[in-house]
Amino acid sequence: MTGVDSTGRPQPFDFHARLIPGPDEPGRLLAAMDRAGIGRAAVCAGGLLPLDRLAEQLNDGGRTETEADNEGVRAACERSGGRLLPFYFADPVRDVDAYGKNAVDFRGLEISPAVHGIRLDDTGVIELVDIAASAGHPVYVVTVAQPGARAIDLVRLAARFPDVTFVWGHCGHTGLDVAGLRTLAGRPNVLAELSGCLTVTARLAVARLGASRVLFGTEYPLQQPEVELCKVAALDLVPEDRSAVLGANARRVLGEEP
C-alpha cells in the first residue's frame, strides 16, 4: 500500500517539496523520500529564479517573468505511482485562465508574493483562490515583509474565503515569525507548514494553533528531508500530535486516506 511502512503504519507525508525541471525528476525526489522514510509528498514547480535573486526579492520585493513548469510537475507526479501529488504554481498576473482550465489535474494551488511580486488582495489572487475554492484545493502561501503580503494580509484573504484551507508556508519567510503565528491563530482555516523555520517557531506553532493545524514539509531540494524530520522529533510531541503533524493533517487537507 502506498505511503505505509513495513508494519502497515502511515509514513510521513511531506506537504511541501519542489521539482526542478530536468530528466532526474521525479527519480531524485523519490530516492530522497525513500532514504528519509517519507511515503508521499505534495509537490510544486521549483527553480523559477536563482537563489540570490530570490533572496533579494524576499528582502526588497520584485517579480520574475519565468513561467513555472506546471505541466512538467503534473507529468512527473503521474509517473510516481501515486506518491507525488501536484500543486499548480500560479502567477496571478497571467495564469488565472490556465489554472481554471487545468485545476482538475492538480491537488492544490501555490501563490508566491516573493516570486511574483503580488499583493494578496490583488484581483488575480482573488480570482485564483475562487477557482481553488471550486476545485476543493488548499492554497499554499509564503508571506513576506512587503505591504499587502504579510501575515495579516493572509488572514484577511482567508476570512474572505472561509471554506478554503490556506497553508502558511515555512511559518513565514524569516524562520522566526512568531508574531505571525499570533496573527494567524484566530483564523481557523489557516494552517502552518514547518519547513525552514526554527525549532522554537515550530514548537510555538503547535502550542498556539494546535497540532491539528500544523503540517510537516521539507522544501526539498533546498533542505534535506532528514533535517526536517529531526526538527519534528525534537518537539517531543505526544504520539497523537506527532502523527497529526507528520501526516494525518496533510491527508485530511488533501482528502487522502492513510
pLDDT at res. 117: 95
For residue 161, pLDDT over 50 is answered with yes
Beta bridge partners of 44: 18
Per the domain annotation, does 16 fall within a domain?
no
**What is the total count of domains within the chain?**
1
pLDDT band of residue 8 (cuts 50, 70, 90) is low
The residue written with cell numbers 502506498 in the block is 2
Q: What's the mean pLDDT when you consider all of the chain? A: 95
Per the domain annotation, does 221 fall within a domain?
no
Per the domain annotation, does 247 fall within a domain?
no
Q: How far is CA 96 from CA 27, 108, 120, 164, 169, in A?
A: 30, 14, 14, 17, 21
Per the domain annotation, does 158 fall within a domain?
yes
pLDDT in tens, 88-110: 999 999 999 999 999 999 999 99
pLDDT band of residue 6 (cuts 50, 70, 90) is low
State the Cα–Cα distance between residues 181 and 83, nearest whole angstrom.
30
pLDDT at res. 257: 64
Per the domain annotation, does 110 fall within a domain?
yes
pLDDT in tens, 12-34: 999 999 998 888 899 999 999 99
pLDDT at res. 22: 84
pLDDT band of residue 1 (cuts 50, 70, 90) is very low
* pTM: predicted TM-score of the whole model, two decimal places: 0.96
State the Cα–Cα distance between residues 194 and 216, nearest whole angstrom.
6
- Assess contact for 4 and 258: CB atoms under 8 A: yes
Q: How far is CA 166 from CA 23, 39, 192, 216, in A?
A: 32, 23, 9, 15
State the Cα–Cα distance between residues 143 and 191, nearest whole angstrom.
13
CATH of the domain at 157: 3.20.20.140
| Integer-rounded Cα radius of gyration of the chain | 17
Per the domain annotation, does 101 fall within a domain?
yes
Q: What is the dihedral angle through the alpha carbons of 202, 205, 211, 215, rounded to the nearest 10 degrees?
A: -60
For residue 258, pLDDT over 70 is answered with no
Per the domain annotation, does 116 fall within a domain?
yes
* Angle formed at CA 172 by CA 21 and CA 189, multiple of 5 degrees: 95
Closest CA to 112 of 176, 180, 44, 158: 44
Indicate the residue type of 95. Answer: D
What is the mean pLDDT of the segment spanning 196-212?
98
Per the domain annotation, does 188 fall within a domain?
yes
State the Cα–Cα distance between residues 90 and 126, nearest whole angstrom.
12
**Structural domain boundaries, residue 101:** 51-78+86-214+226-242
State the Cα–Cα distance between residues 81 and 84, nearest whole angstrom.
8
For residue 202, pLDDT over 60 is answered with yes
Secondary structure E strands in 102-233: 108-111, 139-141, 166-168, 190-193, 214-215
Which strands make up the sheet holding 166-168, listed edge to edge? Answer: 13-19, 40-45, 84-89, 108-111, 139-141, 166-168, 190-193, 214-215
State the Cα–Cα distance between residues 256 and 258, nearest whole angstrom.
7
**Which three cell numbers mark 249?**
493533517
